[in-house]
Amino acid sequence: MLEAKNNKILGFGEIMLRLTPSNNQRIMQVNSFDATYGGGEANVVCSLANFGHKTKYITKLPNNSLGDKVIRDLKSYNVDTSNILQGDGRLGIYFLEIGHGLRSTEVIYDRKYSAISMANKNEFNIEKMLEDVRLVHLSGITPALSKELYDLTIEIAKFAKNTGILVSLDSNYRAKLWSLESAKEFLEEILPYVDIAFLGNLDMVNILKYESKKIEYEESLKDLYEKLFKKYPNLKYAACTKRSVHSINNNSLKGYLFDKESLHVSNEYNFDILDRVGGGDAYTAGILHGILENLSSKETVEFGTCASVLKHSIKGDINLVDMGSVSSLIEEGLQNIKR
Amino acid sequence: MLEAKNNKILGFGEIMLRLTPSNNQRIMQVNSFDATYGGGEANVVCSLANFGHKTKYITKLPNNSLGDKVIRDLKSYNVDTSNILQGDGRLGIYFLEIGHGLRSTEVIYDRKYSAISMANKNEFNIEKMLEDVRLVHLSGITPALSKELYDLTIEIAKFAKNTGILVSLDSNYRAKLWSLESAKEFLEEILPYVDIAFLGNLDMVNILKYESKKIEYEESLKDLYEKLFKKYPNLKYAACTKRSVHSINNNSLKGYLFDKESLHVSNEYNFDILDRVGGGDAYTAGILHGILENLSSKETVEFGTCASVLKHSIKGDINLVDMGSVSSLIEEGLQNIKR
Amino acid sequence: MLEAKNNKILGFGEIMLRLTPSNNQRIMQVNSFDATYGGGEANVVCSLANFGHKTKYITKLPNNSLGDKVIRDLKSYNVDTSNILQGDGRLGIYFLEIGHGLRSTEVIYDRKYSAISMANKNEFNIEKMLEDVRLVHLSGITPALSKELYDLTIEIAKFAKNTGILVSLDSNYRAKLWSLESAKEFLEEILPYVDIAFLGNLDMVNILKYESKKIEYEESLKDLYEKLFKKYPNLKYAACTKRSVHSINNNSLKGYLFDKESLHVSNEYNFDILDRVGGGDAYTAGILHGILENLSSKETVEFGTCASVLKHSIKGDINLVDMGSVSSLIEEGLQNIKR
Amino acid sequence: MLEAKNNKILGFGEIMLRLTPSNNQRIMQVNSFDATYGGGEANVVCSLANFGHKTKYITKLPNNSLGDKVIRDLKSYNVDTSNILQGDGRLGIYFLEIGHGLRSTEVIYDRKYSAISMANKNEFNIEKMLEDVRLVHLSGITPALSKELYDLTIEIAKFAKNTGILVSLDSNYRAKLWSLESAKEFLEEILPYVDIAFLGNLDMVNILKYESKKIEYEESLKDLYEKLFKKYPNLKYAACTKRSVHSINNNSLKGYLFDKESLHVSNEYNFDILDRVGGGDAYTAGILHGILENLSSKETVEFGTCASVLKHSIKGDINLVDMGSVSSLIEEGLQNIKR
Amino acid sequence: MLEAKNNKILGFGEIMLRLTPSNNQRIMQVNSFDATYGGGEANVVCSLANFGHKTKYITKLPNNSLGDKVIRDLKSYNVDTSNILQGDGRLGIYFLEIGHGLRSTEVIYDRKYSAISMANKNEFNIEKMLEDVRLVHLSGITPALSKELYDLTIEIAKFAKNTGILVSLDSNYRAKLWSLESAKEFLEEILPYVDIAFLGNLDMVNILKYESKKIEYEESLKDLYEKLFKKYPNLKYAACTKRSVHSINNNSLKGYLFDKESLHVSNEYNFDILDRVGGGDAYTAGILHGILENLSSKETVEFGTCASVLKHSIKGDINLVDMGSVSSLIEEGLQNIKR
Amino acid sequence: MLEAKNNKILGFGEIMLRLTPSNNQRIMQVNSFDATYGGGEANVVCSLANFGHKTKYITKLPNNSLGDKVIRDLKSYNVDTSNILQGDGRLGIYFLEIGHGLRSTEVIYDRKYSAISMANKNEFNIEKMLEDVRLVHLSGITPALSKELYDLTIEIAKFAKNTGILVSLDSNYRAKLWSLESAKEFLEEILPYVDIAFLGNLDMVNILKYESKKIEYEESLKDLYEKLFKKYPNLKYAACTKRSVHSINNNSLKGYLFDKESLHVSNEYNFDILDRVGGGDAYTAGILHGILENLSSKETVEFGTCASVLKHSIKGDINLVDMGSVSSLIEEGLQNIKR
């Protein structure tokens, strides 16, 4: 367990109910759904709580048993929920048909009109939200939900920047929520306030419209990151992963971390998959952990990648592994049975 | 099995996904939900299909796997789904925490913004919908969902009346959807076109503001029905039930049918409950079956009540019993085991 | 636990796979079946094994994993399976739709062409089967399966009679298997060799065509038993129960035992029901236990009735309670929690 | 929701893993167990947290995933777990075979050698444990686990008394843990420090050896309480319930509260049962809630009884109902469906 | 969705209940079975319905809830069931112990004496069955069930040939049902009426006794097909697959289609397996779809192979994927998540 | 099925309840556990019973339903349980969190204070235990549980040696139970009485402190075995396996058998894993089967390895495959479906 910290890591964003047919079945086959609760930013925060960090979460939930259930779940991870709002509106839902072999996983989003997406930004007291906070983690999903949330996200980032709180941002582009153009506008508006950016090759090429003439993947990525850091000298770190999809049940993953100077690359891991959702959030949490714990960039990218690899072995969106499990994978590799 | 009929019974209204924690648990306890699909008017139509009638259903569903699943389920009951619309919007959902003993059952509705509630009435071709239809069943839920559906419901009733199609209406007042005043306005507008009205004591007293000075329940009910039929001489039948709730798991039920002349009363049945939702719709289907099959009013009210009683022994919203099972309960009473 | 005995109680008959939709659902609703294995005579024998008796079972099973499974289950109850035959043919199956409240339970039999029903009586070595046997329990189901089994049942009874082995017979009339006339012929042929007969009022009136002018139930039953014992002076005991069905989930039961002299009557018990199948076999086992352990007739009928009452609280066909549980119900009544 | 309070309600005692065969099956039938976590004092504290009180729990748990799981569960109820110890030892377990109808429920305890039962009292810092505490709830189970815990329980009660913290004690006699004599010794040693005593008729007669010549139940109970309060004038309240067991699935309950002046009696409630364990703890929590919220004694005993009644409708040991649900049962009685 | 077609694709054959222990367990381990319904010809027809074709099925089912359930399932796929017979007899069953890793999958057939296998061919009205039919799909399983069905199958093929309906035949040799000699006799009798033959290398070598001196697999296959088409010039297409079994959970598959001129070969796909049963039927449906939709032979064989590959990712016998999913796999390859 | 044998194979040791979260979940995620029963020596004996050998087991179990359940399970495998003791104490438990991909499997042992570990060696009558026994199988787990069991294990080995009963020993080192030094002492004390030793490279190097200068694995293993057999000329066979862990879900395995003369090596098998626990015990059982059935050493090591490979496809600790399945894998390799 880590030393107690004085400051908290704050996440802000939507939490949804995920409904999944069991055993890789299709919706038409089942008469029940597995139910878990998660969301990009919450997954990151809960994973950091599992690594021993002090955490806090802000969202708006419906004022009913479903909202209460989300709060209970967050509390069980030791996340401070005291500033979460409850009020009118619904809980966003998504249905996940997990594929198998060469059948793709399919998502049906039913997240419109959720309590948070219909909230007014004035319901949130930024100053109070950021009290005792050391790092705030934001993503490109929340601003895509409404104009109010767009503005609120920018304001949070600005306020944090001004008061010395670290800002982490995961691009997390969702084509169903907004256009590449809107995402570009958002990224360009927020990046001046960001310290740690989770942006990959495709984000820089497709959204930000950067170009690189390098052909080899890593050279190209480094080239793009250098352009990004040149434009936004406030950036301290940028990170992403490269995934190779052999089958829905088997992928390989490699992590990248750019620290203004070098592009650090993790080992590549091949692994079977139990649940792929939240793999990226687990990587984000691992990278933030390394940065906050002052690990070297090399150690940090390895930690992030192994954290993400382990997430793929956990059902649900949230990475239910502690720091020791990640370290053990890095240092000793796979152990058959830990008796 | 009944003789084939030339005409269909049409239902029109919303179908929702019902999510139920298993084994009487609360939402906070479970990590899965049982999933069934139903809705007031659809429950009536499927029950009539199970009695051997030709049936058809009209609704608007989302254009995704959930919408497809609803259509598959309706088809499996032999309901004609060829006029169902699919398009943008979501599938309405409700969460059902089934109580136990002296703990009440609780419902969380998440039905706003559903595909049907956001539909434009012009999307529906009334003339085509009512082709080959012998009776159309409507309820007071659908007009409460939107102004468009309010107008459409009235138009369907008028068109049916004008073309000699029977109109059945279940009041089905839902306080979460609209006020008593709005419900009154609707009932007064539609009742001139209705042949068979499912209205109970409370509907006439609380919504329509009728009064009776009779004290005894049945006398009062008859008095109210007589006032109703005087005002709406088009009415042929009115029906309702009286339920005594001894525990969430045990109720008693008695049915009433008024046929312009007399108030026919069924036997009272006491029964354990497996699933209470749809008990009223099963009664409605049973009464409609009796009327369409030209049973006597006495036989009809007994058939409706027994159909409803049996529904309480079936999981899900829809009454999965055939005509023979209802008749057998009426004629032979409970059989221990049918080997 | 009882003192070890030198002799075994033998059962002979069919064992079937029972497939049951869970949670009182109908076949059309489910995508799985609960699977248990049982059969009238086997239920009696396993229940006696649970009371501590030495037991043995004879049947013919298919030569596949289903047959092996039945043998494994019998062995787990400590039943001697060494004389069971395996060969060609199928395992009989029945589907059980358990009702609820006022919905009746329904059975679909799929037992035709089972290995035992197609067996030749010469496959069974009666002399070897009855080695070390103290009591053989037969029923009216097995002889109804085939002519071969009819003859074999009679031969077993004769051989037992001649070698001093007690013969117990449960009438167990099944209208789907044969006519009342055939059952009458069988009963009249076997009764001269029977010591303990499980025959009720309806068996004597409908099958054997006895008549009684007594109106009150117990007097009439006694009258019929006296006629029976007069015709078959070899009989030592006859027993039956009277069941009142309040709901599929709640019955009352009373046991009767005639011992040539008096009709002994148990207390009447009212009880909720978890699984009703095998309730009669549990009674039979309880009565046989009392007789074999030399309990008084009064104690025996109470033991049998309480054994049957407890069976209704056990899922599956077989009464999974030991002697202590039955005695405790008789002596102390229902205990809330046995900590 | 209640007004925020400055002080916490503290519980101290063991928490166990409860393993239950599903659907009223016996251990021999199942290949899985339902798993919940609970214990007398923890059940009380979690129930109070569900009523909106600030709570805290102290125990010693094993330093493994099972201990972590218990802490996660407590946190999800909003219970302060910061003073819980983790170390060597095991988590106590009990196996619960839930009966049905007239088959009794049976418990197999496997609680010996648990971390808390093998703890040294010096591991617990009483002063720190009772910081910010307003009421401490103790029971007669914990002192029966070891000499160390016996002494610690007495010391906590003394320290609380001396610092103005209310002391609540539930006798909770467990014959498997110690003798009536040892329980008597404990009660006589702790009662001088107790404010609120949960002791019933049998506790006073069988353990404390009080006698009453009154024959009628309530008169006798009042007589005994008067003797108790005479001997221990520090007592402010004593409470208990009377349960009538009609079947494992159906009981009746009546609550009693003595407040130095009168014996207040609740209505009697008859109810079906989903899970009976923790029914007494729910009553205790309801009574404590009434006292702490300054309800009248009449209101308090009704609240406690209704809280207990509702617990019987909840799976697991802990009463998952909020204050509103209890109040609603008192004021409106059973509501069929709360839409 | 495809354009509406005027003519239907008809399947004729047996449908069985499949009982499968869950999670790769053996029969001896489980107390429940997963239940699905399927059969070679029905799997083909339902898969074609999922691709948007108009379909119809003919079989004979028992006149009970199991027969009704099969009809409900077919209807849910939009298959016309109006000519299905119900009558005496049982529903065929097979038990499927799904292997894992290097443990083989084992099947226990319990299909004897099924309603269809005991049917008289005169119960079926061939003229009516083939009304509005464009293609009839037959297999070598049905004629192996009885002499009546053998004759009926031949008659259907002849009638179809004479009235211009396409005939598709899947050899589907089952050694448990008949000998190689009987299968040869059947194939030689029916092939003159067949347009599309699903016959593989082993069918031609082992059953039809053709020989090829080519060593390389594809050359040999082409050689054999040329001999086949020479003998039966009525043939338009022949198709088969080659499967490499790396483990029960991982296979590779390659498809072949011969169109009188060339042998078209699909890409080879390696894939993990969720459920292998029905993989061949999915291929057949895919090939028939390509032919009926006038795809090129190259497109057709790729479509068939990808359809089969996707089936291995679906639980149950029937390929629950639409045309778009197959096309997407062909054109874009595996997509990780379709959001 | 094998020919009946006159002598039994005896196992002696602990049997535990294994509690496993389903579907690779973590303890913190689940509200139920899968329950199976097993233990090293019992797994070997049950596997041998499945191969058709006569077997017997000795242990001490608690005198409650859990102990009864273990006996029932053993009986179902046809293991003679007549000498098993039941008395005070608990049933040892272990919790198994099965990993996935690159997440390791974790075990929480809760086996302390079990009935057998607290037993006195005088409770066991060695002479009676070994009556009719042909081979006794012991392991290094049991002597690590208590001093009494250490002494008893040695005494059993000595008694067996003196009376011509074969002694098999599996080293099975458990670091949580004792030190390398204690294990060394035990092995050196018992090896003079052992005929068949299951000891691997690590056992000889880490525990027995043997050294080999050979670098290549097989040469080194042979070298170590030669040293072992030189020191203990009583040894007839030694065996072990080498496992390569590619992922928790995929391993490779190779078996080794030394017969005083040569080191026999099996083929290497790569396989997916359903349940890894008991893989070693299945190997042991396979080797003992080969030796007792007089297979050649080459055949024996292949049989043992294939038996172990198949175990990895079976849920639970015990290898539920018969001799035919192992032989079929050896001779025919993987069969796709055995119809």
Per CB-CB distance under 8 Å, the chain C contacts of E97 are 65
Q: Give the CATH class of B8-239.
A: alpha beta
Residue type at F324 in one-letter notation: G
- Those residues of chain A that have pLDDT short of 70 are 1-6
Token pair of C129 as six digits:
């089967």
The ranges assigned to domains in chain B are: 8-239
State the pLDDT confidence band at C328, using cuts at 50, 70 and 90.
very high
The CA R_g of chain E, rounded to the nearest whole Å, is 19
What pLDDT does residue C1 have?
36
Distance CA C111, CA C17 (A): 9
Computed over every residue of chain F, the mean pLDDT equals: 95
Distance CA B33, CA B35 (A): 6
Distance CA D161, CA F143 (A): 52
What pLDDT does residue A6 have?
52
Token pair of C235 as six digits:
């009989």
pLDDT greater than 90 at residue F7: no
**CATH of the structural domain D8-12+41-58+125-332, one choice from 1.10.150.120, 3.40.1190.20, 1.10.645.10, 3.40.640.10:** 3.40.1190.20
CA distances (Å), F76 to each of C79, F12, F299, in order?
10, 18, 29
Inter-chain touch F29–B31, beta carbons under 8 Å: yes
What pLDDT does residue E5 have?
44
Per CB-CB distance under 8 Å, the chain F contacts of E248 are 272, 313, 334, 336
Residue B151, H or E segment: helix B147-162
> Which subunits have 3 or more CB–CB pairs within 8 Å of chain C?
A, B, D, E, F
CA angle D270, D273, D275 (to 5 degrees): 140
Superfamily of domain A8-331: Ribokinase (3.40.1190.20)
State the pLDDT confidence band at F299, using cuts at 50, 70 and 90.
very high
Beta pairing, strands C32-38 & E32-38: antiparallel
Token pair of A124 as six digits:
């949130």
Neighbours of C310 (CB within 10 A): 27
Inter-chain touch F69–D27, beta carbons under 8 Å: yes
What digits encode the pLDDT tens for the residues D255-276?
A: 999 999 999 999 999 999 999 9
Q: What chain D residue is nearest to F69 in terms of C-alpha separation?
A: D28
Fold of C8-13+41-57+123-332: UDP-N-acetylmuramoyl-L-alanine:D-glutamate ligase (3.40.1190)
Which of the residues E16, E33, E61, E106 would you substitute to probe the C interface, choosing the one with the greatest number of C C-beta atoms within 10 Å?
E33
Helix, strand or coil, per DSSP, at residue B170: strand
Q: Which residues, listed in sequence order, are joined to residue B36 by a DSSP beta bridge?
A: B18
State the number of CA atoms in the 13 A half-sphere of E71 facing the CB: 19
Angle between the N-to-C axes of helices C65-76 and F65-76, in degrees from 0 to 180, rounded to the nearest 10: 140
Q: Identify the DSSP state of B2.
A: P
Per CB-CB distance under 8 Å, the chain A contacts of B67 are none
Beta pairing, strands C250-258 & C269-272: antiparallel
Q: Are B272 and B247 in contact (CB under 8 A)?
A: no
Q: Are F113 and F90 in contact (CB under 8 A)?
A: yes
Q: Are D201 and D222 in contact (CB under 8 A)?
A: no
- Phi first, then psi, for residue B179 (nearest 5°) are -85, 165
pLDDT greater than 90 at residue C150: yes
Distance CA B309, CA B321 (A): 11
What digits encode the pLDDT tens for the residues A198-252?
A: 999 999 999 999 999 999 999 999 999 999 999 999 999 999 999 999 999 999 9
The separation between CA B339 and the C-alpha centre of its own chain, rounded to angstroms, equals 33
- Closest by Cβ to C102, choosing from B269, B337, B338: B269
pLDDT greater than 50 at residue C3: no
Complex ipTM value: 0.94
pLDDT greater than 90 at residue C5: no
What pLDDT does residue B6 have?
52
Inter-chain touch D68–F97, beta carbons under 8 Å: no
What pLDDT does residue A135 have?
98
Residue type at E271 in one-letter notation: F
What pLDDT does residue F6 have?
53
Handedness of CA C121, C124, C128, C132 (dihedral sign): negative
Report, at the CATH architecture level, how domain F8-12+40-60+121-332 is classified: 3-Layer(aba) Sandwich (3.40)
Q: What chain A residue is nearest to B92 in terms of C-alpha separation?
A: A110
Residues sharing a CB contact under 8 Å with residue E245, sequence separation 6 or more, in sequence order? E251, F334, F336
**CB burial of residue C4 (10 Å; 0-12, 13-18, 19+):** exposed
pLDDT greater than 70 at residue D282: yes
State the pLDDT confidence band at E6, using cuts at 50, 70 and 90.
low
Interface check for A31 against chain C (CB to CB < 8 A): the answer is yes
> Which subunits have 3 or more CB–CB pairs within 8 Å of chain E?
A, B, C, D, F
Q: Are D335 and D324 in contact (CB under 8 A)?
A: no
Distance CA B141, CA B59 (A): 13
Residues sharing a CB contact under 8 Å with residue A93, sequence separation 6 or more, in sequence order? A16, A17, A18, A19, A110, A111, B93, B110
Mean pLDDT of the D134-146 span: 97
Helix, strand or coil, per DSSP, at residue F142: helix
What digits encode the pLDDT tens for the residues A58-92?
A: 999 999 999 999 999 999 999 999 999 999 999 99
Which of the residues D27, D31, D32 would you substitute to probe the E interface, choosing the one with the greatest number of E C-beta atoms within 10 Å?
D31
Q: Where are the alpha helices (DSSP H) in chain F?
A: 40-50, 65-76, 126-130, 147-162, 180-190, 201-202, 217-231, 279-292, 297-311, 323-332
State the pLDDT confidence band at C336, using cuts at 50, 70 and 90.
confident
Helices (H) and strands (E) in chain A, counts: 10, 17
Residue E271, H or E segment: strand E269-272
Beta pairing, strands E85-87 & E60-62: parallel
Inter-chain touch F29–A273, beta carbons under 8 Å: no
Token pair of B165 as six digits:
């199609």
Q: What chain C residue is nearest to D27 in terms of C-alpha separation?
A: C320
Residue A266, H or E segment: none
Distance CA B325, CA A42 (A): 52
Distance CA D284, CA D200 (A): 12
CA distances (Å), D160 to each of A273, D125, D134, D164, in order?
54, 13, 9, 6
What pLDDT does residue F335 have?
82
What digits encode the pLDDT tens for the residues C93-140?
A: 999 999 999 999 999 999 999 999 999 999 999 999 999 999 999 999
What pLDDT does residue E334 have?
87
- Phi first, then psi, for residue B136 (nearest 5°) are -115, 135
What pLDDT does residue F2 have?
40
Residue B17, H or E segment: strand B16-20
Superfamily of domain E8-324: Ribokinase (3.40.1190.20)
Q: What chain E residue is nearest to D30 in terms of C-alpha separation?
A: E31
Residue type at C276 in one-letter notation: R
State the pLDDT confidence band at C6, using cuts at 50, 70 and 90.
low
Handedness of CA E16, E17, E23, E29 (dihedral sign): negative
- Closest by Cβ to E272, choosing from A176, A245, A247: A247
Q: Are D160 and D149 in contact (CB under 8 A)?
A: no
Token pair of A321 as six digits:
């592994």
What pLDDT does residue B2 have?
40
pLDDT greater than 50 at residue D1: no
Distance CA B287, CA B277 (A): 18
**Inter-chain Cβ pairs, chain A and chain E, closer than 8 A:** 72
CA angle B107, B108, B109 (to 5 degrees): 110
pLDDT greater than 90 at residue D2: no
pLDDT greater than 80 at residue E62: yes
Interface check for F22 against chain D (CB to CB < 8 A): the answer is yes
Per CB-CB distance under 8 Å, the chain D contacts of A77 are 72
What digits encode the pLDDT tens for the residues E187-219?
A: 999 999 999 999 999 999 999 999 999 999 999
Residues sharing a CB contact under 8 Å with residue A180, sequence separation 6 or more, in sequence order? A173, A206, A207
Helix, strand or coil, per DSSP, at residue A40: helix
- Closest by Cβ to C73, choosing from F76, F77, F78: F76
